[in-house]
Amino acid sequence: MKNEKLRDLSFFLFPMVFMVVLFYLIPLVLTVYISFTGMRNWNVDKYLHQVVGLYNYERLIHMFKYDPTFKAVILTTIVFVLITLIINVFGGLGLALGTFFMSEKPASAFRLLWLLPRMSPIAVYSLVWYYFFHGSSIGTLNSVLMKLGVINQPIPWGQIVPWGAWSVIIFVNGLVGVSFGMIVFTSALNQIPKELVIAARVDGASAWEISRRILLPLMKWHFLYVLTWQFLSLLTTYPHLFLLVEWDLVDRDYGTTLALYVFNTAFGRGEQDQGLAAAAAVILSILGIIGGFVTLKVLQFEKMIKKPRGDL
């Protein structure tokens, strides 16, 4: 019986295990190995067996202490992840709760409106905000403010460091990420029995009291999922940032996160330093693991798990 169950489990789990090993475990092992080599310019034959020990990690520590550009990258990563995470999670939660108390037709239209940024190609979406925040008079924001008499000359919003650049990258990525939380929380709300809300309404409870005492406690799992997923996603995201930096919309130092730094160091213009990029990627992965673990502990993930009754 046990052998039969093990065979069934192996049959269903093998494709997923194979995909994880092929696309996650092997690249992770290769990245860790490359971080201990001096590989440059993808010259694999020359550098793959040239092990340099912790040299790349020592370079990162030295850069963190003395390189203002790298310090700006680390600071930008911290600010970007924390503020965008708050916007994505609580923005998505607010949108889901707000549309929950609306009639279905306008609620669906409102949700669809917030999904447009996610449905748009990255280049098109980034181009829209490029022209919106452009630092000259062709920028939509500058043009509107100048016509209203609020400002006399164009403002290079993304080149104002640090908060101008941070505001632009947080705003652009926040609009994309908030729709993900909205979908998950809306799905969770639709699973809650409507009788609970109707009974609370009959007893005179307001929308805020229903949300605080009924809806939010029943959405712990979904809150944990969105928070953890968004944290890990923001820590490694860079496509929108890459375009905004390449187009000089935002300051190159304060518009670059550690994930984008890894990409530019490994694949960017000029001399490419894969050893250093791999070391930074390993540190980024460690930060993600630690952050995910802390999130699960803080939200008491263990208490949400209950043993199934009976046998499967």
What is the maximum span of the chain, computed from C-alpha positions, in angstroms? Answer: 80
| Distance from the first to the final alpha carbon of the chain | 12
pLDDT the model gives residue 262: 94
pLDDT the model gives residue 176: 86
pLDDT the model gives residue 294: 85
Model confidence, pTM: 0.87
**By three-state DSSP, how is residue 244 classified?**
helix
Domains, the chain, ordered by start:
34-66+269-302 (no CATH), 79-259 (1.10.3720.10)
Q: Which of 202, 229, 234, 236 is nearest to 296 (CA)?
A: 229
* DSSP single-letter state for residue 120: S
pLDDT the model gives residue 93: 92
pLDDT the model gives residue 311: 57
Helix (H) or strand (E) holding 62: helix 55-66
pLDDT tens-place values along the chain, 312 residues long: 567 777 877 888 888 889 989 988 999 899 999 999 989 888 888 888 889 989 999 999 999 999 999 999 999 999 999 999 999 999 999 999 988 888 888 888 888 888 888 888 889 999 999 999 998 888 999 999 999 989 889 999 999 989 999 999 999 998 888 888 898 999 899 888 888 888 888 888 888 888 888 888 888 888 888 988 889 889 988 888 999 999 999 999 999 999 999 999 998 877 889 999 999 999 999 998 898 888 877 777 767 666 666 555
Residue whose entry in the numeric block shows the structure tokens 């980034």: 126
* Length of the chain measured in residues: 312
pLDDT the model gives residue 205: 85
pLDDT the model gives residue 74: 94
As a whole number of angstroms, the distance between CA 283 and CA 14 comes to 30
pLDDT the model gives residue 104: 82
Cis check for the bond before 15: say yes or no (omega within 30 of 0): no
Count of alpha carbons within 13 angstroms of residue 269, beta-carbon side: 2
